Every structure is written in structure tokens, then in C-alpha cells.
Amino acid sequence: MHSSPRLLLLGYGNVAKALLPLLDSRGSWLEQELGIRPLISGIGSRRTGFFTHSAGVALSELAKEVNPLQLFSASGHASEDAAAFIRAGRATGANALIELTTMNPDNGEPALGHIRQALEAGMDVITANKGPIAHAGEALQTLARQRGLSLRYESAVMDGLPLVNLAEFTLPAVGMRGFRGLLNCTSSIVLSQVEQGSSLEEAIRSAQEAGVAEADPWHDLDGWDAALKTTILANALLNARLTPRQVQRSGIRDLSRTEVVAAARKGTPIRQVSSAQLVDGVLSASVSPQRLQPDDPLFAGRDLGMISLETEAMGTITLTEHSTGVLQTAYGVLSDLIAIQRARNASQETH
Amino acid sequence: MHSSPRLLLLGYGNVAKALLPLLDSRGSWLEQELGIRPLISGIGSRRTGFFTHSAGVALSELAKEVNPLQLFSASGHASEDAAAFIRAGRATGANALIELTTMNPDNGEPALGHIRQALEAGMDVITANKGPIAHAGEALQTLARQRGLSLRYESAVMDGLPLVNLAEFTLPAVGMRGFRGLLNCTSSIVLSQVEQGSSLEEAIRSAQEAGVAEADPWHDLDGWDAALKTTILANALLNARLTPRQVQRSGIRDLSRTEVVAAARKGTPIRQVSSAQLVDGVLSASVSPQRLQPDDPLFAGRDLGMISLETEAMGTITLTEHSTGVLQTAYGVLSDLIAIQRARNASQETH
């Protein structure tokens, strides 16, 4: 057996609730392939309270609970806030933070602070949060490297569809030149509704009712969400040093219903396209509404998550994510946990 | 610096000729990221002769030559056949065989014999050949494992598009349930020509003239090529123990022109679909002509290489290869070489 990860879950929303049974269902795989039995050292959120458990709780134990949080609140130690929770968890031996809180897209806080605190305390970090990585990814990675720790964030863009991990593990030295993608599902769904006859307001309301759009939908529709994702991917895939405000951005707010419907009728539907291209070493990145021609690789994904990677050695490769939801986000967290453990196992074998 | 791979290239066709400059162009990447400077210990093919070079030749030296083979034939040792070439290469310290010969699809020979010989002699093997892996992949992997060696074959299916490596490195524990793919480009191109008005014979002749179809096109059109690829992927992705003759196979030979044209006019073009599905632990695998409905993930790839992976945690993921050619095959070989070297580096650090 290798030394098992002791996980601190910060943020207890739908992704965390999907992650616990997913981890449990992969228990024998993790034991056989990696020689580990992960323990949950704590679960915390602002809404439910912050609880750590000194011995850690096995996933199989948690799986028996209707409400895993109750087991922690009944027998665990309560902290007053996230910072105290991370300190208390680290004191019990937790060695990885799984950061799944909500955050302010303008600066990535408070998630950014949690991640920094955990790295400084000596914990690996996995986050599904775009903000901290888009706003401060390089500084956080430098901090992680200095401490010999890992910071992974596959789920920050297109859930667990391997993009960051793909470039790192299976497309090395391919000569990545750029990408174009439909990275924001909400805007695709809203545009699709408008094409079918809704007004923009109706389309937004219906997306909100379906739980797809946020209370403030403009973060998605004005292209901020896509700009954060474009920043993350440009930095990870193209070794850029982009910040979100450097992404040229025009949203779908000012598109008229007539324009959207007419474009769709002509067979060239409008979608919010994220793009980053390296030309002669210079990066340009943008988020803008574009008409998708039928021969565009993104055309087929006009109602799905989709990305085309432009590479020197492999030409264009397109990846399509047909299902997007909390299970897919949770899987990305699992795949990051596995990547971290594989690296740990390799380094443990050296000592 | 890590100990550098010394490569023996068996088969000197278009892929090998694309691989040498590709490796050279990635020289500084390989040195910086992996600490290696690969050497070419020999190049051999039945047509051009088999030559080894006792000191090995640097890629940068080879890149200066108009005809790299000449450098070997001028200063190298000549062997009379492939077996003697592998022995002579191993004697000079070659530690990896890159197998790129042509082979008989019915049994994978002589490539299968070359791979076995190289593994028995203590060399890692990378092959772009479908036959040996489809017919004897499990036995070869067992042999490799017993000797602590690697056998990798990313380019055997869809060139360097990461499928085998994807499942191994970036989609671990995803719960792979099956796949559907357009794995044989020749049949897609021929069907596409028939849709545009050619007879089957004319379509085949034009594909042959374009260098897409073989002199004997029936290996592709009867689904044998796709059956070999389906076998390889089912075994690699679904942990099956399939042999090529267990794949239910019906080719496109008996489709009438009228039928093909009519299906395309209705917006449901016929393509040769490879499929493998695990249902309750039982595998079924087939290659057959199918009408692609517009909502089929494969519809967009009807003229491209395309595969949909069906997974438990990520739902359906589709990968599309927009460019298929010798550079893409060569890249798959490079990505295998990098995977082997990463594993070697990790194990060297333990000693």
C-alpha cells in the first residue's frame, strides 16, 4: 500500500455530492491500481458548517450515510470558517484540498485564498474553480512547485473532458498552435432557444428555470465565463501568460433576435466562440459571436461542449463532450486525484 | 541526463521518412523535458537493405542528409535480413525497436515475429502495425511485462490520435462501456464518391489513384481493416480478449449504388461503423454499414476519422481526427516513445 490521500472537501454543493459516491464506486480500482484507500478528513461549506474528523472517514462508510455531512457534524470538530477548517484539517493530517466553493469571477476569491492557504500549509490542491486559475494560475503553480506540491484543475474547463491532462500526458510535443471552442454551454442554449422563436429574455428565463443559467446570466452571455476558460486553456496549452482582461471579448447581449434567427435559417447559426492562436510566437485570444459554417469543426457541437485543437503534428483534433453535468465535473476531480497519486507513487518509490 | 534511447527503425517507408525529421524537430523538447538525445542505431527495410551503426547516429546529423539511409549504407554494418538486423542492432546497444514494416493482415507476420524477437532480446517496442497487436496483443504484452519492457502501439488505430494513451493516462477509472467509430477512411472516401455519382469500381479506382486505397481494396471495403482496429481498441479500452475473427463483420461490397445514393439524399449517409459494447460484462463487437442519422455523434465525421467513447462517468465523448497522414502516424510513434521514456525516467530515479 502507498500512503493514502486524506482529502479535505471545501464546498458542499452538487459536485461534492456527486464526487463522494463516484470515489466510493472506484474504491477497488484505486486500491488495485494505485494502492490507496482515500479518506475524507473533512467537509465544509459556508451554508452547512465546517467539520473535520481527526481519524478521517472511509468512503465506504460515507456511502452508507444518506447525508454524509451528518456523520461529520455529529462526530467531527467544527471550525468557524474556511481558513480555520483548512488549518484544522491539515492538523489532522489532511494532505489534499478539493476546492469546490462558489467564487467571484472578477477575482477568483475566496477560492483563490483557500488554494493559497492550502498550498502554503503543504497540501496538494484540486480545484474545479475557473477564477483562481484564470486570475492567478501562474503564481499558484509557482507556489506549488516551490513546495513540491501539485495543483490540478481539469474540471475548470469542460468538466472532466481531458484538455489540460490531454496536453500534458498524451499530446506531448505535438506543437500546439491554437484552439477554437464552444466553452460556455449557457450561451449556446440561450441562442438555440432564440433560434426557435423565443425572445432573449424568455430564453434566459427558461435557461434559469432549467438550472442552466445563473441568477445573473450576463457573466455567461457577455463572455466573461468563456474569457476565464480561454485564459486557462491558453496558459495551459499554449504556454501563454494571459490574464482574463487581455481576452478580446464581445458578448451576445447586443445580437438582435432577427439576426440570430436569420443566421440559423441560412444554416450558419451564431455561437459564442472562444479562440486563442499563436502566430509567430504572438498570442491573440478572443471570445465573440461567430456564424458557424457547416464545414466548421464546431458546427456539429453547436448545442454541445466542443473544442478544436490546432496542432502542428496532428493537424486539427476536435473533442466533443455530449453530457455536461455534476458527474462529469466530479470525474475531472477524480482524474486529477489519480494524476497526483501516480506522481506521488512514482516519487515514493524513489525513497 | 537520462540514458538516451537507441532506436532501431525497421521499415523505411513514408512513416519512417516523416518520423526522422519530426524527432529532430523535437530535439530540444526531448532534451529539456526528458533529458534525452535519441540516437538512431539502424535503419532497415527489405527494399533498401538493413544497416546498423555501432555508435548510433544523432538525429541532427541525419537531418542534414538528403537521404538518411545513405549515411547508414556508407558507414554502417549490413545485415542480410530483418532478424539479423535486430540481432546486430541489439549487439550495438539499441534498446528500442520501431516497427513500421508492411504486414499480412491475416496473421500480422512478419511484423509479429520482429516484435517478438525484439522483446525477447530485451528491447522496448513501438509499432504502428495493426496486425501483430490485433492477432497477438495479449501474448506480446505478457512477454513485454515479463521482461520489464514496454510495447506501445498508439498509431495502430487512427494514427497518433490518443486513444490507447488517452484511456491509460487521462481517462482512468472512467468506466468505459463501449465505442462506435469510423475507423477506416478508405471506405468512407469510396462511399462518399459513390454518393456523388461514381460507380463502386470508379470510386475504388479514384481512391487507388489518390493513394488512399491499396492495390487490393477489399481488405478495407470488406471491413477487415476495421475489424483489426476494433479488436485492438476493444482489448485496450474494454479489457476484452477479442480476436479479429470474433468481430461480426459485413462489408460494403454488396451495397448497391442506388441504395448508397438514396440514403445520402435522405440525409442519412451510409458509413462503415465499428462498434464494441460491454453489456452486463458481455462484449459484442461488429463492423457493418450503417445509416448515420443527423443526431448520431458520428454524422459530423462521415468524411473524417471519428470515434465516440461511451463512458459511465463522462457520458459520450467524441474525438475527431481532421488530418490523417504519415505525419500523424509518425506523431503517434513519437508520443509512444515519450510515454516509454517517462516510465524509464521514473524507474531510473528509483535506483
For residues B292 and B12, give the distance between their C-alpha atoms in angstroms, rounded to a whole number. 38
Strands (E), chain B: 6-10, 39-45, 49-58, 77-79, 96-99, 124-127, 151-152, 176-182, 248-249, 270-279, 282-291, 305-311, 315-321
Please write the tens of the pLDDT for every residue from A98-117.
Answer: 999 988 888 999 999 999 99
For residues A333 and A126, give the distance between their C-alpha atoms in angstroms, rounded to a whole number. 7
The mean per-residue pLDDT over the stretch A199-225 comes to 91
pLDDT score of B105: 83
For residues A178 and A168, give the distance between their C-alpha atoms in angstroms, rounded to a whole number. 15
Nearest neighbour of B171 by CB, restricted to A162, A173, A317: A162
* Min Cα–Cα distance to chain A from B193, Å: 18
For residues A6 and A19, give the distance between their C-alpha atoms in angstroms, rounded to a whole number. 15
pLDDT score of B321: 95
Please write the tens of the pLDDT for every residue from A44-94.
Answer: 999 999 999 999 999 999 988 888 888 898 888 999 999 999 999 999 999
The mean per-residue pLDDT over the stretch B24-49 comes to 96
pLDDT score of A350: 57
CB half-sphere exposure, B51, CA atoms < 13 A: 19
Q: In terms of CA atoms, which chain B residue is nearest residue A328?
A: B314
Q: Which of A154, A169, A239 to mutate to test the interface with B (most CBs of B within 10 A)?
A: A169
Residue B171 confidence (pLDDT) above 70: yes
Indicate the DSSP class of residue B154.
Answer: G
Q: Do B313 and A320 touch (CB under 8 A)?
A: no
Hey, is the C-beta of B28 within 8 angstroms of any chain A C-beta?
no
Three-state secondary structure call for residue B238: coil
Contact B190, B203 (CB under 8 A): yes
Interior angle at CA B221, CA B220 and CA B226, nearest 5: 50
pLDDT confidence bin for A300, thresholds 50/70/90: confident
Grid coordinates of A180: 477554437
Q: In terms of CA atoms, which chain B residue is nearest residue A23?
A: B173
Q: Give me chain A's average pLDDT, please.
A: 94
pLDDT confidence bin for B350, thresholds 50/70/90: low
Q: Which of B164, B176, B303, B320 to mutate to test the interface with A (most CBs of A within 10 A)?
A: B320
Residue B134 confidence (pLDDT) above 60: yes
Comparing A233 with B216, the larger pLDDT belongs to A233
The mean per-residue pLDDT over the stretch A209-216 comes to 85
For residues A260 and A270, give the distance between their C-alpha atoms in angstroms, rounded to a whole number. 6
pLDDT score of A115: 98
pLDDT score of A102: 86
* Min Cα–Cα distance to chain A from B76, Å: 30
Mark which residues 174-203 of B lie under 8 Å from A by CB.
174
Residue B23 confidence (pLDDT) above 80: yes
Hey, is the C-beta of B338 within 8 angstroms of any chain A C-beta?
yes
The mean per-residue pLDDT over the stretch A162-173 comes to 95
Contact A162, A141 (CB under 8 A): no
pLDDT confidence bin for B39, thresholds 50/70/90: very high
Q: In terms of CA atoms, which chain A residue is nearest residue B159?
A: A314
* Min Cα–Cα distance to chain A from B11, Å: 21
Hey, is the C-beta of B165 within 8 angstroms of any chain A C-beta?
yes
Residue A351 confidence (pLDDT) above 60: no
pLDDT score of A213: 84
Please write the tens of the pLDDT for every residue from B102-115.
Answer: 888 889 999 999 99
Is the bond leading into B162 cis (omega within 30 degrees of zero)? no
The mean per-residue pLDDT over the stretch B226-242 comes to 97
Measured CA distances, B275 to A55, B232, B322 (Å): 47, 12, 20
Q: What percent of chain A has pLDDT over 70?
A: 99
pLDDT score of A239: 94
Contact A111, A77 (CB under 8 A): no
Claim: this prediction has a pTM higher than 0.90: yes
pLDDT score of A1: 65
* Min Cα–Cα distance to chain B from A270, Å: 18
Q: In terms of CA atoms, which chain A residue is nearest residue B163?
A: A170
Please write the tens of the pLDDT for every residue from B329-345.
Answer: 999 999 999 999 999 98
pLDDT score of A63: 85
pLDDT confidence bin for B91, thresholds 50/70/90: very high
Following DSSP, what letter does each residue of B313-347 receive, concatenated? TTEEEEEEE---SHHHHHHHHHHHHHHHHHHHHHH
Hey, is the C-beta of B282 within 8 angstroms of any chain A C-beta?
no
Hey, is the C-beta of B29 within 8 angstroms of any chain A C-beta?
yes
The mean per-residue pLDDT over the stretch B230-235 comes to 98
A181-216 exposure pattern, b = at least 16 Cβ within 10 A, e = fewer? bbbbbbbbbbbbbbbeebebeebbeebbeeebbeee
pLDDT score of B279: 92
pLDDT score of A174: 97
Tell me which chain B residues have a C-beta less than 8 angstroms from the C-beta of A153: none
The mean per-residue pLDDT over the stretch A289-293 comes to 96
pLDDT score of B35: 95
Residues in chain A: 351
Per the listing, cell 442519412 goes with B268
Of A208-217, B138-147, B223-232, where does mean pLDDT reach its minimum? A208-217
The mean per-residue pLDDT over the stretch B145-165 comes to 97
Q: Which of A320, A324, A333, A336 to mutate to test the interface with B (most CBs of B within 10 A)?
A: A320
Of A210-214, A242-246, B239-243, where does mean pLDDT reach its minimum? A210-214
The mean per-residue pLDDT over the stretch B43-47 comes to 95
Nearest neighbour of A170 by CB, restricted to B22, B314, B335: B335
pLDDT score of A215: 82
Please write the tens of the pLDDT for every residue from B59-89.
Answer: 999 988 888 888 898 888 999 999 999 999 9
Q: Give me chain B's average pLDDT, please.
A: 94
pLDDT confidence bin for A219, thresholds 50/70/90: very high
